[in-house]
Structures are given as structure tokens and as C-alpha cells.
Homo-oligomer: A and B are copies of this chain.
Amino acid sequence: MHRIPIGVLGASGYAGRELCALIQRHPQLSLAFATANEQRGKTAELPGGGRVTFVATDDAPLESAKLVFSAMPHGASKIWVERARAAGAKVVDLSADLRIGNDGSTVPYGLTEARRETIRGADLVANPGCYPTAILMGLLPLLEQGLIAKGATISVSAASGVTGAGFSARTDLLFGEITENFRAYGVGNTHRHVAEMRAMVSELGADADLLFTPHLLPTARGILATMTVPLTRELPNALAPWITRYAHEPFVELVEQPPETRHVAHRNVVRIAVSSVAHVRTPTLLVFSAIDNLMKGAAGQAVQNANLMLGLEETMGLPA
């Protein structure tokens, strides 16, 4: 079988290795190269059993790849995206450099379920952040259907496993600092992901504020977003907007009980539940959205987008 050659820039981090693993198991893709400057020449184990040997990023044979994933750090990614594009490769950029909400960026935003047709025709896609994926997927039906109260504040409390912070030698991410601990960070709407979420809320026509508070979980993987959403009116069937919107989506699971992060681990899905609330006068809905931050929140969605960009079946090679 003739496989499509794919490159991964910045492959030694958590998202990068997840990408390599997905590519190695993909029925139509093959891994042309995987770069990691500090790990050049070294071999790493991949989630699920494979291995990959890294080359220096400067040595990446960009022209050999039909499509390149950039999992380079924020700030460092943009230049490599340009080089890969110049070499003729399509690109999915997993960094924040080119996402909606950045000044003047017009790069298609890779929230697949929201921008599928644009992505299908694109040569360059900015893959969403992990939190924005969970949160926007949870809010999308309400945003698109104009159900969020005008001028209201959507309060989002979200929590992520530590792989979301990257494979970095930081003492605050040591096991001894994380086990038996829980804390908020990036509080007061200061997290990097706020910009792309606000931009999408606005682009989808909602006049609402978003207050996003992330927390660090003592888990490796998983994001759960718990969202308090003021509505224009009580909904007779709370889940109806999601049922309608996501009826044919292969990677969306609507559930009756609050979703658990373990049930989406290692899967490219978002699991959503909603709940009405007692004892509150304002029409309000609770929306819960869970993803694996490395799959639907990063590498999985990146491959989902790449499948579209390459004319393949959208679900190909992705564990649902």
C-alpha cells in the first residue's frame, strides 16, 4: 500500500509523541520524520507500544512530507509552519501562534465539528487548544442557536491532567508536587486559551462573557469543563440543542450522567452532558464536557483535521 508521508516537528513532547503513535497506526499515513532538537538521535517509546527516533529540527526533510504537524512550542512554531509551507507541505499547527484571536490571523481554526468544510479545503490549519476544544464543543449548540443570555457571564471551571502542561523539566510538575494536590492556575481570565475562546464566542454571534478558571489535576490525562451558562429562557428539553447539532458527529458522545475523564482517555471523542438546576432563579444550564487533552484536545483532532485536508475519511486511524 502506498502511504502518505507525514512529518512531525517538535515530536518529543506529549502531543508530539501522541501524533507519532497515531501516524504509525494510521492505515494511510506513514511517519516521514519526527524532530526534537534536544533528543536528536534518541529513541523514545510511544503510547501504545511503538518507538520513534528523533532527528534535529534543522535536519527535517520538510519537502519529503505531504503534510507536517507542528507541535513546536508557542512562539517557536510560526517560523516552522512557514518553512513547511514553503517546502510544499500542508500544515496542521498545534501551537497557539496562528489561532483565531491572534492579531490578524486568518488561518482556519481547526475545531473540526465547527469548521469542517473550511478545513477540508485548507492547506494550513491552526489546531485549537485543549481547553477551548472541550469548552467550545460543549457550548457550540447554545452559541449557534442563540440560547445564551445577552450580556451574561458563562462561568467555566475546568481541570486538566498534567500532560497538558507539556513534557517540561519543571519542579512544579514533579510527581511529589502533584500527587494528593489540586489547585487553580492562570486565574482571572489570564490563561493563554482565553483569546481563542472569546474570539470564537464572538464569531458565533453570542454577546456573552466567558470566565475561564483552569485547575491542575493529579492525573496524567483528561480535561473536564464544568460550565454554568445563563440562558435566554428555560429549555423544555435541556439536551435537545446538542442532540440536534451533533446528530451525525462520529466523535461526540451525549450522555445522561456527568462525564468522567477516564471514559474518554486515549479516545478522540468529546463526551457531553447537561443538567438543569434547582433553587436558582435565573434560567441556567450546567454543561459538562470531557476530552482527552492529548487526543481530541491535541493530536487526535490534529489527525482528524489532517484526514480532511488530505481527502481521507475523517475518522480514519482515530480511536472513537
A242 at the interface (CB under 8 A from B): no
Interface size on A (CB < 8 Å)?
74
Compute how far the CA of A198 lies from the CA of B168 in the bound complex, rounded to whole angstroms: 37
| Chain A residues in the interface with B (C-beta under 8 A) | 14, 45, 48-49, 151, 153, 155, 157, 159, 161-163, 167-171, 173-185, 187-190, 194, 198, 209-211, 213, 215, 217-222, 224, 226, 228, 230, 258-263, 265-267, 269, 275-282, 284, 286, 288, 319-320
Q: Which B residues touch A189, using CB under 8 A?
A: 277-280
Residue from B211, B220, B275, B277 within 8 A of A176 (CB atoms): B220
Q: Which B residues touch A14, using CB under 8 A?
A: 176
Verify B217–A218 contact, CB threshold 8 A: yes
Contacts A167-B171, A168-B171, A319-B49 given; does A181 touch B219 at CB 8 Å: yes
Verify A209–B170 contact, CB threshold 8 A: no
Copy number in this complex? 4
Verify B224–A280 contact, CB threshold 8 A: no
Q: Which B residues touch A170, using CB under 8 A?
A: 169, 174
Verify A215–B209 contact, CB threshold 8 A: no
Closest chain B CB from A195 CB (angstroms) = 9
Contacts A167-B176, A180-B265 given; does A153 touch B284 at CB 8 Å: yes
Verify A180–B222 contact, CB threshold 8 A: yes
Cβ contacts A to B, 6 pairs, < 8 Å: A153-B282, A155-B157, A162-B176, A182-B261, A188-B286, A189-B280
Contacts A176-B163, A179-B220, A269-B49 given; does A258 touch B184 at CB 8 Å: yes
Q: Which residue of B lies closest to A219 (CB)?
A: B180
Q: Which B residues touch A49, using CB under 8 A?
A: 263, 267, 269, 319-320
Verify A180–B221 contact, CB threshold 8 A: yes
